[in-house]
C-alpha cells in the first residue's frame, strides 16, 4: 500500500468537526511516535561487522575459518567448533529464538539439546527410531521431534510429553511463535497446524502435490512456504484449504526454502542445482539466481543481516547483497568441510555471527562475521534472558497469542475495511443458491400460497378477508399481509364489476382466471 | 409560593406606577394629586378588629377633649407648611405633613400597595421588606422631593384657602354636584380605559389627565384642595373626582372589594398578629402631633354621622358606608408604616371595579415560574461555556485542577518564586543580595521610580522628544523585524549561498585566532609591499632596464628575483581566493586512479595532436610525423600495459567461479604455457563449475526457446544468444544468463571453431577485458558489441570478442576434462530433460484454474423436454442456461505473472477481523486507516510515546479533594 507522497492528510478531508479534531490529534500522535522511534535508532550503537577486503587484491571468500579463528577473541573462537558425531548422522539442527540453546537430531535416533556456547548438555536421548526433524517450541522448555511415524513433543529433560498421532511421517517442522502453532509437513502431502498452547489441531490440509520436500515460515506474515517435489513452492495460511500462491520455482524437487526477516525475499534451492532468490511481495518474480553448484544445494538460509547461506555437498557458501539484481561476482564467504561431511541442515544463530551446520558427521559452527543482528530488542527476544524473564515472557506471549485466523498474506489486512470482498470467487453453495433463488422468488411472486379469491361472497366472508382480519389482529404488518390486502382489493373490484354488470343486465358466471383467457372478447 | 409570586407581581406593577408617578409629579406641579388608600385592597378580620378597637378608643378621647383641638392643629399645620414641609390632604379634608426627617416612615405609610398588603397575609415587616416596599418608598420620596422643589407659590395660596374648605365644602358640593357628576362620568370612562392599558400609554394618560385637571381647575377649587398626596398613579384624577362625588358606583366598588377582603382574610387570621396590632394601636397616640392631628380630623368630621363603632363615615363619599380609607385615616402614620398591610393609598383602584386578577392556575403558574427559573439558570450556566469547551478540547483532564490565577501577574510570580530566581538561597547569594540592598542597587522599584520622577521633572517638550525617540526606536525595531521576516522568506539558493559566505566571513573575522592569522597575513603583505622588491615597475627597475643594465648578471639576477617574488605574491593572492579542493583530490588518488591517470596522460595529448598538426609547419614535416607516430605506438603499448595491469587487479579481486577460471586460463595463455593439473582442487572445481554452467546454459536456452517459440530451429547457438541479447527484457535472470553466456565455454560450440581461426592477441584481449571491467553494470551484450565495433574501427585485426576467447579457452580445457565428469553432466542433463513438461503441466493447471474460477454456464435443460426426438431432428436449442459469474481472467491477480497461480478464494475466517464498511464517525477509508495507523504497542514505540498514548483522559489524584467547578470570574 504505497501512498502518494503528497497526499492530503486524512483529517483535512473530515467534514465533521469533532472527527477532524480527533483525526488531527491522532495524526500528530502518529507522527510523534514515528519521530520518536526514529530517534531511538541513535541508541543502536552496535554495528554489524562484515568481513571486508583490505585491498582489491583480497577476496573475502578466501578467508578461511582458521584465519578468522586466529584473529578473533577467545570467546568467539570458542564458539566455532566441530562436534563429531559420526554414528547417528546426518543431523538436523535447530536453535532457540534467543540463540542460547541448540537442538540436534541425528537421523538414526540421537537427539540432544545443549547450551552450545558453554558446551553444557541439557539432555541426550536415543530414540532408536528415525528422527527426521527437530524443532524447539516457544522456548527451550519444549521441543518437537518428527520421528519415524509420529511427531512427538518432549520437555526440557527429554521426557516425552505428547504424541501427535495424526501427524504421520512428517519430515519438516516449524513453529510460529506468535500463534503458538507447530506446523508440520512431510511424506504424506499433508500439512498440519497444531496449536501447542491448547493442544488443538487448527488445520490439516492436503497439498495434493506429493511429498513436501521443504518448508519454512515467512516471519513477516506467518505464511508457510512449502517446497514440493515437482518444483513448485506453495504458500499456505491455516484459513484457506488451498495454497494462496503457487509458483513454479525449479525443475526438480525443491530442496530447501527460506524467507528473509522482512518477508520480502524467498530463497529456494532446487535439485537442479540452482539457488534462486524471489521477490514475494507482489511480483513473485525471480530477483536473481546464484551460480549453479556442482552438487545440488541442500540448504538455504537467510541470516538476520540478510546474508544467504547455501549448503551443498561439503561446502557452505555465504552470499551477501543478493536481494537486488546484479548479484555479486563472488560469495561473501565459503567454507569447505571435510569431504565426507555432507551438509544436511544449517541455521544462522540469532544474535551471533555464527552459522550452525548439521551434517552427516555431526555439527559444526562457523564464524560468519556480520551475520547476526547486532542490536537486539530485549522486549521482543532477549538473548540474555534469565529464568524469571523466560517465565514472564511465556505468560506474556500466551496472553498476547494471535489467533490462527489472523494469518493473512498482508498482515495489515486485519482491521482494514474489506472493500474488495465482492471480487472473490463464489463457493459452490453460493452458486447453487444463486441458481435456486430465482425460483424461490418466483414462487413468492405467484399467488399459489394465497387463499382463493371469492368475489361471489360478501366482503367479510371471503377467505382473504378472514385471514387479513387475523393478521390485523396480530398487528404485525408483513409481506403476506400486504399481498392479502392487494388481493382483497382485487376481490372488491371484481365484486363491483360484477354488480355493475348485473345492474346493466349482463349475466355472467364467474370464470377462473385460468379459463378466462379462453373467453371470447366482446 | 403562589402567594408570594402574586405579591411580587403586584409589587412590580406598583414600581412601574411609581416611575410613572414621579415623572408626572415633575411635569405637573400645579395640579393636586390626591390619592387614597386603595379601597381595592382586601382587609382582614384582624385589621377590622384592630380598627374597631382603635375607633373605640378614639371616640373616648374625642368625648373628653371636645372641640379645642381644631385651632391647635391649624397653627401647627401652617407652621409645617412654611417651615419644611408640604401639606397634603386626605380625601376627606384631613391633611398630612411631610417632613424631610421622617419621610420614609410616612412614605411607607402612604404607599404600601394594597396588593402587597394582601399578598403578605401576615403583616410582618420582614415580608414587606422582601417585597421591596422600603425601596419603593425611597423612590417615591425622591419623586416627591422633585415635586417638593418645584412647588409653586400659588399652590400655597390655594392651600391656605383650603383651610376654609371644611366650612365651604358642603356648599360647594351642593352647588356643583350637578356639573361634577357629568365631569366625573367622563373621567371615570377615561380612567377605566387607562386602568386596562399598560404603562406604555403613559404619554396619552398624561395628556388626558392634564386635560382633566384643567377642566377641574376651571370648575372648582375643590380639586386642588383635595388630597394632595403626591403618590400618583395613572388614576389619580379619577380618585380625585371620586373624592367629591357621591357616586353610587364608587360605593358599590368599595363594598365589593371590602367584601372580598374579608372573606379572604377569614381563613388566615392569626392570633399573634392581632396581638401585635393591639400593641401597635395602644401606641398610636403617643405622639402629640398625631393626637392633635387626630383631634382635628375628628373635628372636621364632626358634621358627619356617627355609627356604632365610632368610626366616622364620610357621607359624601360613601353614602354612609364604611370604607377602608375611613378606617385607615385613624391609624397612626408610624404604626401604619410597620403595618404596611394596609397598603398605601392607591389611586388606581379607586374608581372602577378593581378586581384582583384571577390567579393563574397552579399548573400555569408553575410553568411560568419554571420558565423564569430556567432562564435564570441558563444565564448562570452560560458562564461555564468557555470552561466546558476547554475541557472538552483538552486531551487530558487532571483532577484536582491546578490553581487558577486571577491575574497574569500572580501566575507569573508563582513560578518565579518557585525557581528562587529572586530569593537568594546560598550564603553567597544572600551576601550579595544584602550588599545590593544596602547600596540600594537591588531595588528595581527605585529605578522605576527614578524613571518616573525623571519624566515628571521633564518639560513638555522634553517629554515629547523622549516619546518620539522611543517611538522611533520602536519603529526601527519593527522595521528590522519586518526585514528579517522578508529575508527569511527568500527561497533563492544563490542568495542564501552568498549570504552564507558573507556570514562565514564575518564569523571568521570574529574568531580571534583566525583574526590573528589574517592580521599576520596582512602584515606580511604590507611588508612585502613596502619592500617593493617584487615590482619591476619601480624606479630602480625601470632605470635598470632603460640603462641596459639588465645584461649585467648580478642586476639580472636581482631583477629575476624580483619578478619571481612578484609572481609568488600574485599566486598567493589567487590561492587565497581559490579553495584548496585540488590538493585533496590529488591526495585521494588511489592506485587505480593513479593508473588511469597515467593512462590518460598518455592518451589525452594524442588526440588533439591529430587534429592540430595539420596546419603547423614544423609539425607537419615528415620526420616529425614519424617521430610522433613512434611516440604514439609507444604510448599505445604503454596504455595497453597499464590496462592489463589494471585488469589483472580487478580480476584478482573478483574471483568468481567463472571469471576466476577465465583468469587462470588467461594467465596460462599469457605465460605461454598451460598448466592443467587435474589433481589440484581449484582446477577441478573450475571444471565442474564450467560443466554446470554449460548445463545451465542449455536449460536457459530451452527456456528461451519456449519463450520465443520461433527460434526452435536455430542450429546456430550464437544466434540464439544474440537474440537473447537483443531481447534485453530487463528481467534479471536474463541478465545473469547472458552474463554467463559470455563466459560459458560449453555453450557456444560453433563459436569454438570460429574462434579457433582467430589467433588471440593477449594485449588486445586485456584491453577488452578492461572495458568489460569498467562496464560491469551495463549489459554484457552491449559491452561486447560495442567493444567489437570499437575494435573494428580502431584495431581491426588485433581485438577479439571476449566470449570467443573464453570459448577457446574452455574448448582447450574440455579436451582435458575427464570423461567421468562429462558423463555426470550428461546425466544431469538427461535427468532434467523434460523440464518443459513440468512447466507445461503447470500452465495447464493454471488454465484449468482460470476456467474453473471464471464465469460458468450451467445447462439446466432437461433432456427429452422442449423438443422432439428422433431421426432427422435437430437437437433442441439450449433455453435454460444459467450463468454464474466468476473471476474474469483480466481481473485475476496472477494475470501478468508467469508460473504463478494466486488463489482467488477468499479467506473467510479472517473476515471477522475486518470491517465491511467504514464505521461511524469516519467518512472515508483513508480517515479510518489513518486512525488505525497510530502505533500504540509497547513493543514498537518508545516508552515515552507508549505512556503518552495510553494516558487516560481523566486523571484523578487519589485522595485529593476535587472541588466543584467554579464559575470563571468575569
Q: Check residue B373 and give its pLDDT.
A: 95
Q: What band does B198 get if pLDDT is binned at 50, 70 and 90?
A: very low
**Among A231-245, A284-298, B503-517, B631-645, which stretch is predicted with the lowest mean pLDDT?**
B503-517
Q: Is the CB of residue B916 less than 8 Å away from at least one CB of chain A?
A: yes
* Contact criterion met (CB < 8 Å) for A23 and B904: no
Domain presence at residue B19: yes
pLDDT at B903 over 60: yes
- B763, three cell numbers: 594485449
Test the A interface: residue of B838, B927, B941 with most A CBs within 10 Å: B927
Q: Check residue A387 and give its pLDDT.
A: 94
Dist CA B851 CA B843 (whole Å): 12
Backbone angles phi, psi at A160, to 5 degrees: -70, 135
DSSP state, A214?
E
Q: Check residue B106 and give its pLDDT.
A: 43
* Contact criterion met (CB < 8 Å) for B944 and A29: no
Q: How far apart are the first and last CA of chain B?
A: 33
How many angstroms away from the CA of A509 is the closest CA of chain B?
36
Q: Check residue B906 and give its pLDDT.
A: 79
Dist CA B215 CA B222 (whole Å): 12
pLDDT at B748 over 90: no
Q: Check residue A417 and give its pLDDT.
A: 84
B233 in the same domain as B96 = yes
Q: Which residue's entry shows cell 504463478?
A: B900
How many angstroms away from the CA of A467 is the closest CA of chain B?
38
* Torsion over CA: B223, B224, B228, B231 (sign): positive
Q: Which residues pair with A285 in a beta bridge?
A: A279
Dist CA B552 CA B531 (whole Å): 22
Domain presence at residue B850: no
Q: Check residue B230 and give its pLDDT.
A: 43
Q: What band does A229 get if pLDDT is binned at 50, 70 and 90?
A: very high
Q: Check residue B243 and give its pLDDT.
A: 43
Q: Check residue B232 and give its pLDDT.
A: 41
DSSP-derived 3-state class of residue B718 = helix
Dist CA A517 CA B359 (whole Å): 79
What does the mean pLDDT of chain A come to?
Answer: 88
pLDDT at B805 over 60: no
Q: What band does B387 get if pLDDT is binned at 50, 70 and 90?
A: confident
B349 in the same domain as B463 = no
String of b and e for B277-296 (b: at least 16 CB within 10 Å)?
Answer: beebbeebbeeeebbbbbbb
Partners of residue B653 in chain A, C-beta under 8 Å = 53, 56-59
Dist CA A287 CA B166 (whole Å): 132
Partners of residue B835 in chain A, C-beta under 8 Å = 251, 272
Q: What band does B531 get if pLDDT is binned at 50, 70 and 90?
A: low
- Distance set, CA A369 to CA A71, A228, A299, A320, A352 (Å): 12, 33, 20, 11, 9
- Distance set, CA A8 to CA A4, A11, A12, B921, B927 (Å): 9, 8, 7, 19, 11
- Quick one: what percent of chain A has pLDDT higher than 70? 91
Q: What band does B309 get if pLDDT is binned at 50, 70 and 90?
A: low
Dist CA A294 CA B909 (whole Å): 45
Partners of residue A13 in chain B, C-beta under 8 Å = 923-924, 926-927
pLDDT at A111 over 80: yes
Q: What band does A2 get if pLDDT is binned at 50, 70 and 90?
A: very low
pLDDT tens per residue across span A183-194: 999 999 999 999
Supply the angle between the helices B202-219 and B2-27 in degrees, to the nearest 10: 60
What does the mean pLDDT of chain B come to?
Answer: 61
pLDDT at B586 over 70: no
- Quick one: what percent of chain B has pLDDT higher than 90? 5
Q: Tell me the residue range of the domain where B705 lies.
A: 687-835
pLDDT at B507 over 60: yes
- Name the more confident of B809 and B334: B334
pLDDT at B694 over 80: no
B315 in the same domain as B182 = yes
pLDDT tens per residue across span A435-476: 666 555 555 556 777 888 888 888 888 888 998 898 888 887
Domain presence at residue B531: no
Q: Given the DSSP bridges, would you call strands B397-399 and B954-956 parallel, antiparallel or unpaired?
A: parallel
**Among A280-294, B426-440, B489-503, which stretch is predicted with the lowest mean pLDDT?**
B426-440
Test the A interface: residue of B907, B933, B939, B949 with most A CBs within 10 Å: B907
Q: Check residue B178 and give its pLDDT.
A: 54
pLDDT at B560 over 60: yes
Q: What band does A14 get if pLDDT is binned at 50, 70 and 90?
A: confident
Q: Check residue B491 and give its pLDDT.
A: 85
Dist CA B220 CA B151 (whole Å): 20
pLDDT at B296 over 60: yes
The upper half-sphere exposure of residue A307, i.e. CA atoms within 13 Å in the direction of its Cβ, equals 32
DSSP-derived 3-state class of residue B265 = helix
Instruction: Give mean pLDDT, residues A85-103.
Output: 94
Domain presence at residue B181: yes
**Cβ(B10)–Cβ(B115) below 8 Å:** yes
How many angstroms away from the CA of B657 is the closest CA of chain A?
7
- B residues 429-448 lying closer than 8 A (beta carbon) to A: none
pLDDT at B416 over 70: no
Domain presence at residue B634: no
pLDDT at A35 over 80: yes
Dist CA A97 CA A383 (whole Å): 8
- The torsion defined by the Cα of B549, B551, B555 and B561, in degrees rounded to 10, comes to 130
- Name the more confident of B863 and A136: A136
pLDDT at B285 over 60: no
Give Dmax (Cα) for chain B. 177
- B617, three cell numbers: 609547419
Supply the angle between the helices B717-727 and B681-708 in degrees, to the nearest 10: 70
pLDDT tens per residue across span A142-183: 999 999 999 999 999 999 999 999 999 999 999 999 999 999
Q: Is the CB of residue B574 less than 8 Å away from at least one CB of chain A?
A: no
- B181, three cell numbers: 357628576
pLDDT at A128 over 80: yes
Q: Check residue B469 and give its pLDDT.
A: 92
pLDDT at B203 over 70: no
The DSSP element (H or E) to which A246 belongs, if any, is strand A245-248
* Contact criterion met (CB < 8 Å) for B691 and A294: yes
Q: Check residue B926 and give its pLDDT.
A: 87
Domain presence at residue B54: yes
- Quick one: what percent of chain B has pLDDT higher than 70? 35
- Name the more confident of B827 and B197: B827
Q: Check residue A228 and give its pLDDT.
A: 95
How large is the ipTM? 0.79
Dist CA B93 CA B167 (whole Å): 11
Dist CA B758 CA B770 (whole Å): 20
Partners of residue B882 in chain A, C-beta under 8 Å = 434-435
Partners of residue A58 in chain B, C-beta under 8 Å = 653
Dist CA A485 CA A468 (whole Å): 7
Chain-centroid distance, C-alpha B685 = 74
Partners of residue B695 in chain A, C-beta under 8 Å = 292
**Cβ(B409)–Cβ(B415) below 8 Å:** no
Q: What band does B404 get if pLDDT is binned at 50, 70 and 90?
A: low
The DSSP element (H or E) to which B583 belongs, if any, is helix B581-588
How many angstroms away from the CA of A426 is the closest CA of chain B?
7
DSSP-derived 3-state class of residue B395 = coil
Dist CA B733 CA B277 (whole Å): 122
Q: Check residue B833 and give its pLDDT.
A: 60
Pick the closest to residue A267 from A383, A335, A358, A348 (CA basis).
Answer: A348
Dist CA B356 CA B372 (whole Å): 23
Chain-centroid distance, C-alpha B599 = 69
pLDDT tens per residue across span B755-777: 344 344 444 444 454 554 455 44
Dist CA B781 CA B753 (whole Å): 20
pLDDT at B806 over 80: no
- A residues 161-220 lying closer than 8 A (beta carbon) to B: none
Domain presence at residue B749: yes
- Name the more confident of A214 and B169: A214
- Distance set, CA B12 to CA A221, A284, B6 (Å): 81, 91, 10
Residues 6+ apart with CB under 8 A from B354: B38, B39, B40, B195, B253, B257, B348
* Torsion over CA: B823, B826, B832, B837 (sign): negative
Q: Where a domain ends, among B336, B361, B386? A: B361
Residues 6+ apart with CB under 8 A from A469: A460
**Cβ(B119)–Cβ(B42) below 8 Å:** no
DSSP-derived 3-state class of residue A362 = strand
Dist CA A102 CA A99 (whole Å): 8
Q: Check residue A97 and give its pLDDT.
A: 94
Domain presence at residue B169: yes
Q: Which residues pair with A336 in a beta bridge?
A: A315
Q: Among A488-497, B569-578, B807-816, name the most confident range.
A: A488-497
Instruction: Give mean pLDDT, residues B372-390.
Output: 90
- Name the more confident of B485 and B790: B485
Partners of residue A424 in chain B, C-beta under 8 Å = 887, 904-906
Pick the closest to residue B845 from A32, A248, A332 (CA basis).
Answer: A248
Dist CA B777 CA B783 (whole Å): 10
* Contact criterion met (CB < 8 Å) for A62 and B655: yes
Dist CA B311 CA B325 (whole Å): 11
pLDDT at B921 over 50: yes
- Name the more confident of B643 and B323: B643
Partners of residue B931 in chain A, C-beta under 8 Å = 10, 22-23, 26
B335 in the same domain as B483 = no
Partners of residue A287 in chain B, C-beta under 8 Å = 732
Q: What band does A126 get if pLDDT is binned at 50, 70 and 90?
A: very high
Q: What band does B233 get if pLDDT is binned at 50, 70 and 90?
A: very low
* Contact criterion met (CB < 8 Å) for A292 and B735: no
Q: Is the CB of residue A293 less than 8 Å away from at least one CB of chain B?
A: yes
Q: Is the CB of residue B945 less than 8 Å away from at least one CB of chain A?
A: yes
Give Dmax (Cα) for chain A. 126
pLDDT tens per residue across span B819-830: 555 666 667 666
Pick the closest to residue B279 from B50, B538, B593, B600 (CA basis).
Answer: B50
Q: How many domains does chain B have?
A: 3
- A256, three cell numbers: 530447501
DSSP-derived 3-state class of residue B759 = coil
How many angstroms away from the CA of A123 is the closest CA of chain B?
34
Q: Which residue's entry shows cell 414587606?
A: B128
Q: Is the CB of residue A325 less than 8 Å away from at least one CB of chain B?
A: yes
| DSSP sequence for B596-623 | HHHHHHHHTTHHHHHHHTTT-HHHHSHH
Where do the domains of chain A lie, and which CATH numbers do they carry? 61-394+402-412 (2.130.10.10), 451-516 (no CATH)
- B824, three cell numbers: 555426470
- Distance set, CA B85 to CA B136, B495, B822 (Å): 21, 93, 148
Q: Check residue B709 and give its pLDDT.
A: 42
Amino acid at each position: 500500500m504505497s501512498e502518494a507522497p503528497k497526499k492530503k492528510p486524512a483529517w483535512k478531508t473530515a467534514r465533521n468537526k469533532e472527527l477532524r479534531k480527533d483525526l488531527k490529534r491522532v495524526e500528530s500522535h502518529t507522527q510523534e511516535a514515528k519521530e520518536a522511534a526514529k530517534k531511538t535508532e541513535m541508541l543502536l550503537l552496535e554495528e554489524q561487522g562484515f568481513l571486508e577486503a583490505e585491498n582489491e587484491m583480497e577476496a573475502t571468500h578466501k578467508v578461511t575459518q582458521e584465519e578468522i579463528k586466529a584473529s578473533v577473541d577467545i570467546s568467539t573462537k570458542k564458539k566455532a567448533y566441530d562436534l563429531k558425531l559420526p554414528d547417528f548422522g546426518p543431523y538436523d539442527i535447530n536453535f532457540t529464538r534467543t540463540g542460547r540453546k541448540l537442538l540436534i537430531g541425528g537421523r538414526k535416533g540421537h537427539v540432544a539439546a545443549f547450551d552450545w556456547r558453554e558446551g553444557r548438555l541439557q539432555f541426550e536421548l536415543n530414540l532408536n527410531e528415525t528422527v527426521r526433524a527437530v524443532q524447539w517450541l516457544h522456548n527451550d522448555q519444549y521441543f518437537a521431534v518428527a520421528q519415524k511415524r509420529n511427531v512427538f513433543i518432549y520437555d526440557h529433560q527429554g521426557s516425552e510429553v505428547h504424541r501427535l498421532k495424526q501427524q504421520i511421517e512428517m519430515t519438516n517442522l516449524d513453529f510460529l511463535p506468535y500463534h503458538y502453532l507447530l506446523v508440520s509437513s512431510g511424506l504424506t502431502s499433508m500439512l498440519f497446524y497444531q496449536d501447542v498452547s491448547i493442544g488443538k489441531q487448527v488445520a490439516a490440509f492436503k497439498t495434493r502435490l506429493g511429498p513436501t520436500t521443504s518448508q519454512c515460515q515467512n516471519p513477516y506474515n506467518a505464511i508457510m512456504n512449502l517446497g514440493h517435489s515437482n518444483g513448485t513452492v506453495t504458500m499456505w495460511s491455516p484459513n484457506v484449504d488451498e495454497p494462496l500462491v503457487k509458483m513454479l520455482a525449479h525443475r526438480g524437487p525443491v530442496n530447501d526454502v527460506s524467507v528473509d526477516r522482512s518477508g520480502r525475499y524467498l530463497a529456494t534451492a532446487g535439485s537442479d542445482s540452482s539457488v534462486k532468490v524471489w521477490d514475494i511481495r507482489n511480483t513473485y518474480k525471480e530477483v536473481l539466481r546464484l551460480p549453479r553448484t556442482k552438487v545440488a544445494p541442500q540448504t538455504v538460509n537467510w541470516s538476520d543481516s540478510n546474508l544467504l547461506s547455501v549448503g551443498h555437498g561439503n561446502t557452505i557458501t555465504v552470499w551477501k547483497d543478493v536481494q537486488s539484481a546484479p548479484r555479486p561476482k563472488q560469495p561473501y564467504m565459503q567454507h569447505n568441510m571435510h569431504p565426507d561431511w555432507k551438509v544436511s541442515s544449517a541455521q544462522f544463530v540469532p544474535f551471533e555471527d555464527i552459522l550452525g551446520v548439521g551434517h552427516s558427521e555431526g555439527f559444526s559452527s562457523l564464524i560468519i562475521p556480520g551475520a547476526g543482528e547486532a542490536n537486539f530488542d530485549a522486549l521482543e527476544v532477549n538473548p540474555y534472558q534469565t529464568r524469571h524473564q523466560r517465565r514472564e515472557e511465556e505468560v506474556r506471549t500466551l496472553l498476547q497469542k494471535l489467533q490462527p485466523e489472523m494469518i493473512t498474506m498482508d498482515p495489515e489486512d486485519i482491521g482494514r475495511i474489506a472493500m474488495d470482498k465482492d471480487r472473490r470467487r463464489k463457493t459452490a453453495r453460493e452458486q447453487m443458491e444463486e441458481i435456486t433463488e430465482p425460483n424461490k422468488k418466483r414462487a413468492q411472486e405467484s399467488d399459489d400460497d394465497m387463499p382463493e379469491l371469492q368475489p361471489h361472497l360478501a366482503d367479510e366472508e371471503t377467505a382473504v378477508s378472514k385471514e387479513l382480519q387475523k393478521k390485523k389482529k396480530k398487528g404485525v404488518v408483513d409481506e403476506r399481509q400486504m399481498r392479502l390486502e392487494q388481493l382483497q382489493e382485487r376481490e372488491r373490484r371484481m365484486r363491483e364489476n360484477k354488480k355493475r354488470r348485473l345492474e346493466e343486465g349482463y349475466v355472467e358466471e364467474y370464470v377462473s382466471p385460468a379459463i378466462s383467457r379462453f373467453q371470447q372478447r366482446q | 409560593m403562589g402567594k408570594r409570586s402574586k405579591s411580587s407581581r403586584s409589587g412590580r406593577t406598583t414600581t412601574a406606577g411609581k416611575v410613572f408617578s414621579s415623572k408626572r409629579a415633575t411635569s405637573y406641579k400645579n395640579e393636586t394629586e390626591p390619592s387614597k388608600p386603595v379601597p381595592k385592597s382586601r382587609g382582614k378580620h384582624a385589621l377590622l378588629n384592630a380598627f374597631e378597637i382603635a375607633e373605640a378608643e378614639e371616640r373616648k378621647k374625642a368625648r373628653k377633649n371636645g372641640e379645642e383641638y381644631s385651632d391647635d392643629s391649624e397653627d401647627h399645620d401652617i407652621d409645617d407648611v412654611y417651615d419644611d414641609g408640604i401639606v397634603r390632604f386626605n380625601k376627606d379634608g384631613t391633611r398630612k405633613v411631610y417632613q424631610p426627617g421622617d419621610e420614609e416612615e410616612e412614605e411607607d405609610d402612604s404607599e404600601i400597595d394594597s396588593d402587597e398588603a394582601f399578598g403578605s397575609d401576615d403583616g410582618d415587616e420582614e415580608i414587606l421588606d422582601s417585597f421591596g416596599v422600603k425601596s419603593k418608598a425611597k423612590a417615591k420620596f425622591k419623586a416627591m422631593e422633585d415635586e417638593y422643589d418645584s412647588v409653586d407659590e400659588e399652590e400655597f395660596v390655594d392651600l391656605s384657602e383650603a383651610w376654609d374648605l371644611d366650612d365651604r365644602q358642603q356648599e360647594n358640593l351642593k352647588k356643583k354636584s350637578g356639573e361634577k357628576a357629568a365631569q366625573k362620568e367622563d373621567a371615570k370612562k377615561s380612567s377605566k380605559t387607562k386602568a386596562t392599558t399598560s404603562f406604555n400609554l403613559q404619554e396619552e394618560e398624561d395628556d388626558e389627565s392634564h386635560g382633566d385637571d384643567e377642566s377641574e381647575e376651571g370648575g372648582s377649587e375643590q380639586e386642588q384642595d383635595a388630597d394632595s398626596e403626591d403618590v400618583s398613579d395613572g388614576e389619580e384624577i379619577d380618585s380625585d373626582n371620586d373624592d367629591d362625588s357621591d357616586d353610587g358606583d364608587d360605593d358599590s366598588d368599595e363594598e365589593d372589594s371590602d367584601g372580598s377582603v374579608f372573606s379572604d382574610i377569614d381563613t388566615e387570621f392569626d392570633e399573634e398578629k392581632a396581638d401585635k396590632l393591639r400593641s401597635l394601636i395602644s401606641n398610636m397616640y403617643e405622639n402629640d402631633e398625631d393626637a392633635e392631628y387626630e383631634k382635628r380630623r375628628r373635628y372636621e368630621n364632626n358634621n358627619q354621622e356617627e355609627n356604632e363603632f365610632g368610626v366616622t363615615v364620610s357621607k359624601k363619599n360613601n353614602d354612609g358606608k364604611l370604607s377602608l380609607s375611613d378606617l385607615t385615616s385613624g391609624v397612626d402614620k408610624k404604626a401604619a408604616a410597620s403595618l404596611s398591610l394596609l397598603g398605601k393609598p392607591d389611586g388606581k383602584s379607586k374608581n372602577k371595579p378593581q378586581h384582583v386578577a384571577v390567579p393563574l392556575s397552579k399548573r400555569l403558574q408553575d410553568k411560568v415560574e419554571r420558565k423564569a427559573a430556567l432562564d435564570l439558570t441558563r444565564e448562570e450556566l452560560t458562564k461555564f461555556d468557555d470552561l466546558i469547551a476547554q475541557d472538552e478540547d483538552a486531551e487530558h483532564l487532571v483532577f484536582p485542577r491546578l490553581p487558577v490565577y486571577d491575574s497574569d501577574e500572580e501566575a507569573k510570580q508563582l513560578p518565579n518564586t518557585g525557581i528562587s530566581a529572586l530569593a537568594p538561597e546560598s550564603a553567597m547569594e544572600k551576601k550579595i543580595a544584602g550588599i545590593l540592598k544596602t547600596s540600594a542597587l537591588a531595588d528595581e522599584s527605585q529605578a522605576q521610580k527614578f524613571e518616573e520622577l525623571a519624566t515628571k521633572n521633564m518639560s513638555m517638550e522634553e517629554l515629547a522628544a523622549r516619546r518620539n525617540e522611543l517611538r522611533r526606536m520602536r519603529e526601527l525595531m519593527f522595521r528590522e523585524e519586518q526585514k528579517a521576516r522578508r529575508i527569511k522568506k527568500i527561497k533563492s539558493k544563490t542568495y542564501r549561498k552568498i549570504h552564507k559566505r558573507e556570514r562565514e566571513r564575518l564569523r571568521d573575522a570574529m574568531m580571534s585566532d583566525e583574526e590573528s592569522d589574517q592580521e599576520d597575513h596582512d602584515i606580511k603583505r604590507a611588508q612585502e609591499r613596502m619592500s617593493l622588491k617584487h615590482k619591476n615597475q619601480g624606479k630602480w627597475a625601470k632605470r635598470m632596464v632603460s640603462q641596459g643594465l639588465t645584461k649585467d648578471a648580478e642586476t639580472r639576477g636581482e631583477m629575476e628575483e624580483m619578478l619571481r617574488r612578484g609572481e609568488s605574491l600574485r599566486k598567493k593572492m589567487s590561492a587565497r581566493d581559490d579553495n584548496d579542493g585540488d590538493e585533496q583530490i590529488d591526495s585521494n588518488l588511489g592506485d587505480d586512479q593513479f593508473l588511469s591517470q597515467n593512462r590518460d596522460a598518455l592518451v589525452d595529448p594524442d588526440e588533439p595532436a591529430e587534429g592540430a598538426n595539420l596546419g603547423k609547419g614544423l609539425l607537419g614535416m615528415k620526420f616529425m610525423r614519424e617521430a610522433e607516430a613512434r611516440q604514439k605506438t609507444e604510448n599505445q603499448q604503454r596504455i595497453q600495459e597499464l590496462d592489463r595491469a589494471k585488469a589483472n587487479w580487478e580480476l584478482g579481486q573478483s574471483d568468481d567461479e567463472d571469471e576466476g577460471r577465465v583468469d587462470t586460463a588467461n594467465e596460462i595463455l599469457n605465460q605461454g604455457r598451460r598448466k592443467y593439473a587435474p589433481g589440484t582442487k581449484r582446477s577441478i572445481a573450475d571444471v565442474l563449475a564450467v560443466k554446470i554452467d554449460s548445463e545451465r546454459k542449455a536449460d536457459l536456452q530451452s527456456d528461451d526457446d519456449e519463450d520465443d517459440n520461433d527460434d526452435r530451429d536455430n542450429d546456430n547457438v550464437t544466434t540464439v544468444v544474440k537474440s537473447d541479447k537483443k531481447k534485453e527484457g530487463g528481467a534479471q535472470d536474463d541478465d545473469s544468463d547472458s552474463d554467463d553466456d559470455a563466459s560459458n565455454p560449453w555453450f557456444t560450440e560453433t563459436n569454438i571453431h570460429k574462434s579457433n581461426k582467430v589467433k588471440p592477441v593477449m594485449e588486445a584481449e586485456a584491453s577488452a577485458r578492461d572495458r568489460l571491467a569498467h562496464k560491469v553494470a551495463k549489459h554484457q551484450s552491449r559491452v561486447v558489441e560495442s567493444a567489437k565495433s570499437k575494435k573494428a574501427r580502431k584495431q581491426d585485426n588485433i581485438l577479439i570478442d571476449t566470449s570467443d576467447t573464453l570459448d577457446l579457452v574452455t574448448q582447450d580445457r574440455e579436451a582435458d576434462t575427464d570423461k567421468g565428469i562429462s558423463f555426470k553432466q550428461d546425466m544431469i542433463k538427461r535427468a532434467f530433460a523434460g523440464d518443459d513438461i513440468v512447466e507445461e503441466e503447470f500452465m495447464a493447471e493454471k488454465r484449468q484454474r482460470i476456467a474453473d474460477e471464471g464465469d460458468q454456464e450451467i445447462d439446466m435443460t432437461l433432456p427429452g423436454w422442449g423438443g422432439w426426438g428422433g431421426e432427422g431432428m435437430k437437437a433442441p436449442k439450449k433455453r435454460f442456461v444459467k450463468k454464474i459469474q466468476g473471476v474474469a481472467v483480466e481481473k485475476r491477480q496472477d494475470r501478468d505473472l508467469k508460473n504463478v497461480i494466486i488463489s482467488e478464494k477468499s479467506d473467510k475466517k479472517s473476515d471477522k477481523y475486518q470491517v465491511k464498511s467504514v464505521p461511524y464517525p469516519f467518512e472515508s477509508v483513508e480517515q479510518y486507516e489513518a486512525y488505525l495507523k497510530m502505533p500504540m504497542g509497547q513493543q514498537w514505540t518508545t516508552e515515552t510515546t507508549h505512556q503518552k498514548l495510553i494516558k487516560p483522559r481523566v486523571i484523578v489524584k487519589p485522595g485529593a479533594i476535587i472541588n466543584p467547578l467554579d464559575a470563571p470570574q468575569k
